[in-house]
Structure 1
Amino acid sequence: MGPLLIVLLLALLLFGGGFALHLLWWIAVVVIIVWALGFVMRGTHSSGGRNRWYRW
């Protein structure tokens, strides 16, 4: 009974980790797309220079 519980617990942990990593990949893709769009849609200064769209 003990080894069966250990195997089931390990399978549950690996499934949860795989789901979390998959979710993190999608979040990373969305962040990269937003970051890249920031270069395309950034405004201009009144002096004609380009402005950053973020405040870092």
Structure 2
Amino acid sequence: MIKWAIIFAIAALVLGALGFGGLAGASMGIAKILFVAALIIAVIFLVLGLTAVRKIT
């Protein structure tokens, strides 16, 4: 998911440099949503991993 966020961010930079402001804004919005979603999923898995280790040991 982070890979796609980076791809959309780079696409937004290229589109912004070429003058396509609307598409650049949309691409950056998608990149932000994907990055936040990946961050939330990573935190959830971190919490689940820590609680599983405590129950196992």
**Alignment TM-score > 0.5, same fold:** yes
Residue 20 of structure 1, aligned match among 38, 45, 49: 38
Rg larger for: 1
How much is the aligned-residue C-alpha RMSD, in angstroms?
Answer: 1.3
Bigger relative contact order (CA 8 A; separation at least 6)? 2
TM-score when normalising by structure 2: 0.63
Q: TM-score, normalised by structure 1?
A: 0.64
Instruction: Give the aligned length.
Output: 39
Aligned structure 1 segments of 4 or more residues deviating by more than 2 angstroms: none
Task: List gaps (5 residues or longer) in structure 2.
Answer: 1-18
Higher helix share: 2
Structure 1 gap segments, 5+ residues each: 40-56
